């Protein structure tokens, strides 16, 4: 049974007098009546309070710092605007994410371009994105990128990404800081990278970057990574006379998807990392660089809830009870990709006396499209019930697809009883917008429009 205070709930979640789930003081039953389902719901309060938790902890333990939101977790203009208001920068990884930042005039000097295979066009875009305070910066990942930047020839501030060789406990696909990683320079390659950068003249080297993985619950790997990175600062300072001004220790801080997840609280993470960095700086006698952190999931994950409508249910004789909903792997690819676990409840009757075990299946044509395996839900769950799946704010919409040509859901931002669309629902027109029908096929299409019989259709095609 679900109670009022569960760690994966958005901060504003409440169970109201009708036994409905409310987020941002908006009854989710009414929200779905107004906007339809599936619906991505985003709690503004959770995002802002999380941002302030990061900012406050940094102000207390390491004021010379800049948190930047890893936009791959949730790339939307409205979210970027909130981040700007909360004093966050952005970590973008593509022309599309960069363009989204530019489209709302996000302060250029607070934007950092990442990526292990940035194109020349993407690098060019970053070089040209400037405001009065400075320009967008890049995190150099490989030798190829240095050559591209040298060819572009425009000035840009850059950090170098290194692979610190730190192991942490998370899913294999989302580990990045171990040695056999596609990201960043191995420590042995670092000097060659620096020398190539120095010969390029237009690249202003400001620091090093490391990112050890995602959905991490331990703090020690960050402390280990900080030591490895700062050891390089001393070495580089001695060998090349470069004094770095920035230190970026990446993102990856874990969140609650279920009660058994055990992420440390943000203040504790920042305190420990900041304390370690400060003591290393004094041990190595280094000037304090600006500390950059790149949280993605922990900024928006718990703010998101996806609401689905229940359709068919199927009791396999002597087997599982399958409850099918109107979304699935296309709006949340994490269960099928990472075997990710989620929690859920019915929105229209949250607290119930009797629950039984069922399996929530998506609507997509793939047996693996299972959103929640063996989860307790009301025993009398039926068609028309509304199901909320929690912690879907990060890497759900951003990894969504149009599999089976189903349009992506709408996203609404809720706050203080107001709901605003921040992402329109995709229409049928949207789905065919990029289709091109070669003219030689048009007569087939005309025939199709005239509803030709199956027989004559086959004759035409074969």
Distance CA 321, CA 334 (A): 22
The yes or no reply on residue 214 touching ligand LLP (CB under 6 A) is yes
Distance CA 256, CA 262 (A): 7
Q: Which residues contact 132 (CB under 8 A, 6 or more apart)?
A: none
Among residues 207, 252, 289, 393, the one that binds ligand LLP under rule CB under 6 A: 252
Q: Give the chain's end-to-end CA distance (angstroms, integer).
A: 58
Binding mask of the shown chain, residues 119 to 148, with x at each position contacting ligand LLP by CB under 6 A: ------------------------------
Q: Which is nearer to ligand LLP, 114 or 349 (CB)?
A: 114
The yes or no reply on residue 174 touching ligand LLP (CB under 6 A) is yes
Name the minimum Å distance from CB 316 to ligand LLP: 30
The yes or no reply on residue 184 touching ligand LLP (CB under 6 A) is no
Name the minimum Å distance from CB 256 to ligand LLP: 14
Among residues 24, 164, 296, 393, the one that binds ligand LLP under rule CB under 6 A: 296
Distance CA 295, CA 160 (A): 18
Binding mask of the shown chain, residues 361 to 390, with x at each position contacting ligand LLP by CB under 6 A: ------------------------------
Residue of this chain nearest to ligand LLP (CB atom)? 296
Do 271 and 232 contact (CB within 8 A), yes or no?
A: no
The yes or no reply on residue 331 touching ligand LLP (CB under 6 A) is no
DSSP 190: H
Among residues 38, 89, 251, 378, the one that binds ligand LLP under rule CB under 6 A: 251
Would you tell me how many other CB atoms lie within 10 Å of the CB of residue 435?
6
* Number of residues located near ligand LLP, criterion CB under 6 A: 23
Q: Which is nearer to ligand LLP, 221 or 251 (CB)?
A: 251
Name the minimum Å distance from CB 254 to ligand LLP: 7
Among residues 20, 118, 211, 408, the one that binds ligand LLP under rule CB under 6 A: 211
Considering only the C-alpha atoms of the chain, give the largest distance between any 2 of them, rounded to a whole number of Å.
83
- The sign one gets for the Cα dihedral 225, 229, 230, 235 is positive
| Residues between 54 and 73 that touch ligand LLP (CB under 6 A) | 70, 72-73
Q: Which of 459, 429, 422 is nearest to 80 (CA)?
A: 422
The yes or no reply on residue 118 touching ligand LLP (CB under 6 A) is no
Name the minimum Å distance from CB 182 to ligand LLP: 11
Q: Looking at 116-254, list the stretches that DSSP marks H as alpha helix, in order from N- to C-terminal side.
A: 120-128, 143-152, 190-200, 220-240
| Residues between 78 and 107 that touch ligand LLP (CB under 6 A) | 91
Q: Which is nearer to ligand LLP, 14 or 55 (CB)?
A: 55
Q: Which stretch binds ligand LLP (CB under 6 A): 199-207, 211-219, 269-277, 424-432?
A: 211-219
Distance CA 414, CA 12 (A): 10
The yes or no reply on residue 221 touching ligand LLP (CB under 6 A) is no
Name the minimum Å distance from CB 232 to ligand LLP: 17
The yes or no reply on residue 295 touching ligand LLP (CB under 6 A) is yes
Q: Which of 168, 170, 147, 146 is nearest to 158 (CA)?
A: 146
CA angle 173, 301, 11 (to 5 degrees): 155
Q: Which stretch binds ligand LLP (CB under 6 A): 7-15, 116-124, 248-256, 359-367?
A: 248-256
* Six-digit token string for 333: 């690819």
Distance CA 229, CA 96 (A): 30
The DSSP bridge partners found for residue 66 are 292
The answer to whether 365 is a known catalytic residue is yes
Which of the residues 75, 127, 345, 365 is marked catalytic? Answer: 365
Q: Which of 54, 131, 120, 37 is nearest to 299 (CA)?
A: 54
The yes or no reply on residue 304 touching ligand LLP (CB under 6 A) is no
H, E, C per residue of 239-263: HHCCCCCEEECCCCECCCCCCCCCC
* Six-digit token string for 416: 């203080």
Q: Are strands 111-113 and 137-140 parallel, antiparallel or unpaired?
A: parallel
Name the minimum Å distance from CB 303 to ligand LLP: 13
Residues near ligand LLP (CB under 6 A) are: 70, 72-73, 91, 114, 174, 176, 211, 214-215, 250-253, 294-298, 334, 338, 395, 399
* Residues designated as active site: 365
């Amino acid at each position: 049974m679900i109670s009022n205070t569960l760690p994966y709930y958005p901060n504003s979640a409440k169970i109201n007098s009708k036994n409905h789930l409310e987020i941002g003081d908006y009854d989710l039953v009414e929200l779905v009546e107004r906007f339809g389902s599936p619906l991505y719901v985003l709690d503004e309060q959770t995002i802002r309070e999380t941002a302030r938790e990061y900012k406050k902890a940094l102000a207390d333990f390491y004021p010379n710092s800049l948190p930047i939101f890893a936009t791959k977790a949730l790339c939307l203009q409205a979210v970027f605007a909130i981040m700007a208001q909360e004093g966050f920068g952005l970590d973008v990884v593509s022309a599309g994410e960069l363009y989204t930042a530019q489209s709302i005039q996000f302060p250029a000097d607070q934007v950092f371009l990442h990526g292990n295979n940035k194109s020349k066009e993407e690098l060019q875009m970053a070089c040209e994105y400037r405001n009065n305070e400075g320009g967008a910066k890049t995190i150099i990942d490989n030798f190829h990128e240095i050559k591209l930047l040298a060819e572009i020839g425009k000035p840009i501030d850059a950090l170098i990404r290194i692979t610190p060789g730190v192991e942490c406990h998370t899913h294999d696909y989302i580990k990045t800081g171990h040695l056999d990683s596609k990201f960043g320079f191995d420590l042995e390659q670092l000097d060659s990278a620096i020398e190539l950068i120095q010969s390029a003249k237009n690249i202003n080297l400001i620091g090093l970057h490391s990112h050890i993985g995602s959905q991490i619950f331990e703090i020690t790997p960050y402390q280990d990574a900080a030591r490895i990175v700062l050891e390089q600062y001393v070495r580089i300072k001695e060998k090349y006379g470069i004094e770095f001004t920035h230190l970026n220790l990446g993102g990856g801080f874990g969140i609650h998807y279920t009660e058994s997840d055990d992420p440390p609280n943000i203040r504790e993470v920042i305190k420990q990392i900041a304390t370690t960095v400060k003591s290393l700086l004094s041990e190595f006698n280094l000037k304090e660089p600006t500390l950059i952190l790149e949280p993605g999931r922990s900024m928006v994950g718990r703010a998101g809830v996806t609401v689905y409508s229940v359709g068919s249910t199927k009791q396999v004789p002597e087997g599982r009870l399958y409850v099918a909903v109107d979304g699935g792997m296309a709006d949340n690819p994490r269960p099928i990709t990472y075997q990710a676990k989620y929690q859920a409840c019915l929105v229209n009757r949250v607290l119930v006396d009797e629950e039984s075990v069922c399996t929530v299946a998506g609507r997509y044509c793939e047996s693996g499209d299972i959103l929640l395996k063996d989860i307790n839900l009301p025993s009398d769950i039926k068609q028309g019930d509304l199901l909320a799946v929690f912690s879907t704010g990060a890497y759900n919409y951003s990894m969504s697809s149009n599999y089976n040509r189903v349009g992506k859901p709408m996203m609404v931002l809720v706050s203080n009883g107001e709901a605003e669309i921040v992402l329109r629902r995709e229409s049928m027109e949207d789905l065919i917008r990029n289709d091109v029908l070669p003219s030689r096929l048009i007569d087939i299409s005309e025939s199709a429009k005239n509803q030709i019989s199956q027989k004559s259709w086959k004759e035409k095609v074969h």
